[in-house]
Amino acid sequence: MGPKMRMTTVTSVTELSPHMKRIIVSGDDLKDFPEDKKSAHVKAIFPDPNSAHKTPKLGLYFGFKKWMRSYTVREFNKERLELTLDFAVNDHKGLATNWAVQAKPGDKLGIAGPGEPKHTNLQEDNHLFFGDITALPAIAATLEQLPASAKGKAWIQVPTELDKQSFIAPKDIEINWLVTPNKLTDKFLNAFAAEPEDLMHTAIFIATEMSIVKQLKQHLQTHCNYDKKKLYASAYWDMKK
């Protein structure tokens, strides 16, 4: 049996910042959507932009993956059956981004999943987060779930000052905004290199463009003592694709 697929309808579209759109989808199909998956990803299923009816086709048919992209569960409100997804709208064109740019209430979106939350351990002694704007929803959703006593640092790349967001985070988690339109910035690596080499008691979250993820993992492997079980590292997109 494949993943459960649900049909939803857009109920609201908000411009959170110049490069981020918040889209809330709702519908009866979300009745059994699990409540504890904030920060996990779903596969959003988009309609063929060239089809007349603009409704995504659900199901496991030949080529179905072409219409799917990964997005993070920013919030899920069980009472209202509302799922909140934040879409980075950068300068690139793509099925998901083009859809988000034009989305309006009443539009249909398919949802498969969710997967599991990404951060390896909310209770770890120390936390490090590295992510670009596509990982901002996952980082914010995770920070909101850490215990108030949590310690650590987050580095988040956004294209402009106006793309900084406020969210709830423990007071001893230092948030560092890397404001640059350069999505392949070396500021992540510089920040990582300035951290202590002993990371055995640190939960590490890395989610950005593939080559940057590779760079940061290489730094970890060559310079740090760390516990593989406490590392989440994932390419959220690939410049070479």
Ligand X SMILES: Cc1cc2nc3c(=O)[nH]c(=O)nc-3n(C[C@H](O)[C@H](O)[C@H](O)COP(=O)(O)OP(=O)(O)OC[C@H]3O[C@@H](n4cnc5c(N)ncnc54)[C@H](O)[C@@H]3O)c2cc1C
**Interaction site with ligand X (CB under 6 A):** 41, 69-72, 86-88, 90, 92, 94-97, 134, 137, 183, 234, 236-239, 241
The answer to whether the beta carbons of residues 18 and 160 sit under 8 Å apart is yes
- Of 37 and 41, the one with the shorter C-beta distance to ligand X is 41
The answer to whether the beta carbons of residues 187 and 208 sit under 8 Å apart is no
Token pair of 128 as six digits = 């490090």
Cβ contacts of 91 within 8 Å, gap of 6 or more:
none
* Nearest distance from C-beta of residue 197 to ligand X, angstroms: 28
- Of 126 and 169, the one with the shorter C-beta distance to ligand X is 169
The answer to whether the beta carbons of residues 81 and 111 sit under 8 Å apart is no
The three-state (H, E, C) secondary structure of 100-164, written as one string = HHHCCCCCEEEEECCCCCCCCCCCCCEEEEEECCCCHHHHHHHHCCCCCCCEEEEEEEECCHHHC
- Of 96 and 128, the one with the shorter C-beta distance to ligand X is 96
Residue nearest to ligand X (CB): 94
* Nearest distance from C-beta of residue 201 to ligand X, angstroms: 25
* Nearest distance from C-beta of residue 188 to ligand X, angstroms: 15
* Nearest distance from C-beta of residue 50 to ligand X, angstroms: 15
Residue 174 is which amino acid?
E
- Of 71 and 76, the one with the shorter C-beta distance to ligand X is 71
- Of 138 and 146, the one with the shorter C-beta distance to ligand X is 138
Token pair of 210 as six digits = 């593939």
Closest listed residue to residue 183, CA positions, set 119, 120, 240, 118: 240
* Nearest distance from C-beta of residue 149 to ligand X, angstroms: 27
